Amino acid sequence: MISSLIFDMDGVLLDSMPYHADAWVQVSGEWGVQVTHNDIYEIEGANHILGLQWLFQRAGKELEPEYYEAILDRKIEIFSKIADVRPFEGILECLGRLKGKFNLSVVTGSERSTVESLLNEFFPDVFDVVVCGDDVEHGKPFPDPYLKAVELLGVTVDECIVIENAPMGVEAAKGAGIFCVGVPTYVSPDKLSKADVVLTDHEFLPDYLLKLLNS
């Protein structure tokens, strides 16, 4: 029986990834690395350290670890200035109906300071467990973040459903052995083909989740 729903945050709960992508494109350019929004969407879900490494490797450059903190601080600064984040339509009402019927959790690659600020603003007291990118050594696409959420929820993987919108997130969920629903918010549906179910687009997510109340 399903007892727990585990959500990615950016692109599933919040329409925020375009601002993250803008910030990454800007800060990468400041360091001489040219990336696109699609590059960012492809690695969405990875924690910032892993994401940084991949962005620089993709551009054929190496990044010394001593510069990680400065680049991450700059990315957070840019994001904070430009972001006009909002929950997706229907998500607040949907979570309100699911709360109390399921354990609700968030697993995200974003840093805890940003995550807590956004969740407190838009979803106060909704989620039972929150796992952030800086809570695990190996973030998405490794299964560790989802396995940590399962452990903190005190359930088994068979009792959970993950809702993901990014290829790396789907890979992490399936690596953890969890049923995964793919939501093609910023990427084409074929990019999420490893998910157990791929919705047509984000508009269908609230209805899909509310059907679980009667299953």
Q: Are residues 69 and 141 in the same domain?
A: no
Contacts of 43 (CB under 8 A, 6+ apart): 50, 51, 54, 55, 168
pLDDT at 208: 96
Q: Are residues 145 and 171 in the same domain?
A: yes
pLDDT at 113: 86
Give the model confidence (pLDDT) of 52-65 as tens digits. 888 888 778 888 88
pLDDT range class, residue 45, cuts 50, 70, 90: confident
Query: Using CA atoms, how far apart are residues 167 and 180, in angstroms rounded to an integer?
Result: 11
Q: Looking at residue 145, which CATH number applies to its domain?
A: 3.40.50.1000
Of 36, 54, 82, the one marking the end of a domain is: 82
Give the domain range for residue 164: 4-15+86-214
Q: Are residues 129 and 198 in the same domain?
A: yes
SS3 assignment, position 161: strand
Give the model confidence (pLDDT) of 125-165 as tens digits. 999 999 998 899 889 999 999 999 999 999 999 999 999 99
Give the model confidence (pLDDT) of 179-208 as tens digits. 999 999 999 999 999 999 999 999 999 999
Q: Are residues 103 and 153 in the same domain?
A: yes
Q: Which string of DSSP letters, residue by residue, matches 109-148? A: SS-HHHHHHHHHHHSTTT-SEEE-GGG-SS-TTSSHHHHH
Of 38, 60, 82, the one marking the end of a domain is: 82
Give the model confidence (pLDDT) of 87-102 as tens digits. 999 999 999 999 999 9
Report which residue type is found at 167: P
Residue whose tokens read 């309100």? 96
Q: Are residues 10 and 113 in the same domain?
A: yes
Q: Are residues 100 and 198 in the same domain?
A: yes
- Number of domain units in the chain: 2
Q: Are residues 178 and 100 in the same domain?
A: yes
pLDDT at 3: 97
pLDDT at 172: 97
pLDDT at 174: 98
Of 82, 105, 122, the one marking the end of a domain is: 82
Would the pLDDT of 46 be above 90? no
Give the mean pLDDT of the chain. Answer: 92
The mean pLDDT of 26-37, rounded to a whole number, is: 89
Q: Are residues 25 and 100 in the same domain?
A: no
Q: Looking at residue 50, which CATH number applies to its domain?
A: 1.10.150.240
Query: Using CA atoms, how far apart are residues 180 and 198, in angstroms rounded to an integer?
Result: 9
Would the pLDDT of 16 be above 80? yes
